[in-house]
Structure 1
Amino acid sequence: MTDAAAPVPLARHRVVLGAAEVHGTAPTPVEAGPIAVLPTAERAFVDAVERAGGVVAPLSTATRGVVWTASSGGDDLAHLLDAHPAIAWLQLPWAGVDAFAGLLGRAAGDGRVWTSAKGAYAQPVAEHALMLALAVLREIPRRVHATSWHVDELGRTLYGANVVIVGAGGIAVELLRLLEPFGVHTTVVRRSAVPVAGAARTLPTTRLGEALDGADLVVLAAALTGDSRGLIGAAELQRMPRGCVLVNVARGGLVDTEALVEALASGHLGGAGLDVTDPEPLPTGHPLWQAPNCIVTPHVADTEEMTVPLFAERISQNVRAFLGDGAFEGRIDPVAGY
């Protein structure tokens, strides 16, 4: 994730646990032992293990925990687990684990504890989502390219807006807090209808269409799974009121890109702020680069300066849980895929 020789930045954010998180007081029973930091034993993450009382050692038959620092490499990790069945706990580096979907599908019922960084990067990503929303509402994508003074009276306010947030993880929880000063009316859409604190209403995904009715701003902050892929397609975009703004800081695959391009080109969609796209990287010359009132940032809502100290904190917390002190954070449900 980072240059092992570079100084480790200090954390300026805190972990935000999602509304869907369930925390127990008792540790999950696993057999503790040496921990391997792979595929590269970066200093910041080795220190995080040792700071929590763990022992870092090269991969061997004695290894009981693995901290995986690469953003992908599911096949390599699968081979590693097949060769070392005694590994009891695995820590993955990102909040989204769709890059490891195949591996997780095999992991159901294997007895291992799988953890991710979900919640760890919520603050920087929620901050980025708010920035994208404000920029698009205020017509910034078009105005930054202007070369002459032209007063057109365009631009909308976030104050009092009807906001829909799809997802109930740490990003959603933090974004709800950031939106409070704007006096918005917020609907959270999640897998269940269990209320989310700070939201005016909470609806299950089966009622997504209802949530989109009357929305001024829709923010996607949900995990990408087999069920959520293509969640926002042509029908959902058309159901949004004309002029609605879409922000996606989750995964590009949640949106039908072709339908998004058409909705922007027709003027039905008032604008889009995208930190993620499908495909990704977005090819040079793709219509989204020229789409009206659209901002595309190259998946940089959480930079290494932000993520390295936050991931180190997550590692330390889960090493303590691995050693029997407290509960694991960011538990992955291999069946659900996140």
Structure 2
Amino acid sequence: MTHETVQTSKANRTALAYSHRSRTATEAELVGDDRRPAVGAVTILPADRGLAGGESVLEAAGATLVPLGDETRGLIFTSPRDVDGLIDALERHPQISWVQLPFAGIDHFADRLKPHAERGVFFTSAKGAYAQPVAEHALALALALQRQLPMRARATSWGRQSGLSLYGANALILGAGGICLELIDLMRPFGVTVTVGRRLAAQAVPGADRTVDLDGFRAAIPEADVIVLAAAATGATRHVIADAELRAMKQTAVLVNIARGPLIDTEALVRALDDEQLFGAGLDVTDPEPLPDDHPLFSHERAIITPHSADTPDMIKPLFLERCRANVEAFLSSGRFIGVADPVLGY
């Protein structure tokens, strides 16, 4: 391969255009006049980040873009880390009526947003926007664990034949949002039977064979071959997988977490993997996060750890821009918002 060919190959990878689409559990929500945010100019914050050159898309949707100031009524926040900057903007500019967040989950800082929600600020999040790449990652982790790729990747000798198959398996998913819906579709060719755990079991999940509440989720663990955590982190879901749940799993079960680290008791998981209580665990999120260097999970032959990379920046940029465009239209005219978030509930 020539140097020119190598450079062309690199350029093609850099320019790769993803064709993901948003997947939400609910349609756009028509917000009544009593909750509609006051219409006005829109600010993108931080100003130096922008939206990957997407300002023209927002202007085409009707937005008047202004620097943060007295004119600002809508705020599109683009930084996944600078929550202090968001809180400062809301405190200094109480006239802001709508905020679009870049996160799918808001549990880490919902308490800081709660006072602003209670005084009337309307929040939308990216929930569902990143469902496709995250569901894809969950499926990849499940298949890799069943085929024992963590062990195979570290092997220095041929070893013996072993592994499991997803075909005809019982899958148990906690969380009924867009990730769950997309994962159900991805697993359908494998003939998987799907049980979904959610807060309200009465609301059946489309495509699932069974919908249960949190108690029903725990009761279904002994039957499950694949368990995927795709729920918000709340008081009810903290350590939803701990010693008792891990002991209840089949020794051939695999556990995948692409939601939030605190859903799993990390120390209990390490003990369970050491004792071969389950076949493997794939974690894109951890508690603590990031895991400390040399944590035993990094080298465990039954574990795969990925650095919260189920949705990479390149994947989510066009998805977030489309969410912003749709909600700018809702803010300025239709009132049909996507991804309405409630800091009081935490998601």
Give the conservation status (yes or no) of the 8 Å contact 1:98–1:337: yes
Task: Extract unaligned runs of 5+ from structure 2.
Answer: 1-13
Residue in structure 2 matched with residue 24 of structure 1 by the alignment: 30
Q: CA deviation at 1:45?
A: 4.2
Give the conservation status (yes or no) of the 8 Å contact 1:272–1:294: yes
Q: CA deviation at 1:180?
A: 0.5
Partner secondary structure for residue 317 of structure 1: helix
List structure 1 segments (4+ residues) > 4 angstroms apart after TM superposition.
Answer: 7-11, 25-28
Task: Extract unaligned runs of 5+ from structure 1.
Answer: 1-6
Cα displacement string for residues 153-175 of structure 1 (whole angstroms, at most 9, x for unaligned residues) = 31000001110000001100000
Residue in structure 1 matched with residue 53 of structure 2 by the alignment: 44
Residue in structure 1 matched with residue 5 of structure 2 by the alignment: none
Residue 198 (structure 2) pairs with residue 198 (structure 1): no
CA distance in 1, matches of 2:266, 2:281: 12
Structure 1 range deviating more: 243-252 or 32-41 = 32-41
CA distance in 1, matches of 2:31, 2:283: 38
Cα displacement string for residues 76-115 of structure 1 (whole angstroms, at most 9, x for unaligned residues) = 3222212211101001101011232222332343222100
Alignment of 1:273-288 (within 5 A): 273-288=282-297
Partner secondary structure for residue 130 of structure 1: helix
Amino acid at match of 2:185: R
Residue 165 (structure 2) pairs with residue 157 (structure 1): yes
Give the conservation status (yes or no) of the 8 Å contact 2:106–2:343: no
Q: 1:9 to 1:320 in 2, by over 3 A?
A: farther
CA distance in 1, matches of 2:118, 2:31: 22
Structure 1 range deviating more: 268-277 or 26-35 = 26-35
Structural RMSD (CA): 1.8
Q: CA deviation at 1:206?
A: 2.7
Partner secondary structure for residue 218 of structure 2: helix
CA distance in 2, matches of 1:47, 1:142: 48
CA distance in 1, matches of 2:229, 2:342: 21
CA distance in 2, matches of 1:306, 1:60: 31
Residue 128 (structure 2) pairs with residue 119 (structure 1): yes
Residue 212 (structure 2) pairs with residue 178 (structure 1): no
CA distance in 1, matches of 2:220, 2:279: 18
Residue in structure 2 matched with residue 140 of structure 1 by the alignment: 149
Q: CA deviation at 1:257?
A: 0.3
Give the conservation status (yes or no) of the 8 Å contact 2:28–2:339: no
Cα displacement string for residues 149-205 of structure 1 (whole angstroms, at most 9, x for unaligned residues) = 22x231000001110000001100000000100111110001110110111100011
Which residue of the other structure, out of 272, 289, 314, is the alignment partner of 1:263? Answer: 272
Residue in structure 2 matched with residue 169 of structure 1 by the alignment: 177
CA distance in 2, matches of 1:192, 1:31: 33
Alignment of 1:201-280 (within 5 A): 201-280=210-289
Given the two structures, how large is their TM-score scaled by the length of structure 2? 0.90
Amino acid at match of 1:33: G
Residue 40 (structure 2) pairs with residue 33 (structure 1): yes
Residue in structure 2 matched with residue 323 of structure 1 by the alignment: 332
Partner secondary structure for residue 114 of structure 1: strand
CA distance in 2, matches of 1:140, 1:304: 26
CA distance in 1, matches of 2:15, 2:75: 21
Partner secondary structure for residue 123 of structure 2: strand
Amino acid at match of 1:185: T
Partner secondary structure for residue 22 of structure 2: coil
Give the conservation status (yes or no) of the 8 Å contact 2:137–2:310: yes
Which residue of the other structure, out of 91, 99, 118, is the alignment partner of 1:90? Answer: 99
Which residue of the other structure, out of 303, 309, 313, is the alignment partner of 2:312? Answer: 303
CA distance in 2, matches of 1:113, 1:291: 44
CA distance in 1, matches of 2:315, 2:239: 29
Given the two structures, how large is their TM-score scaled by the length of structure 1? 0.93
Q: 1:278 to 1:168 in 2, by over 3 A?
A: same
CA distance in 2, matches of 1:315, 1:25: 17
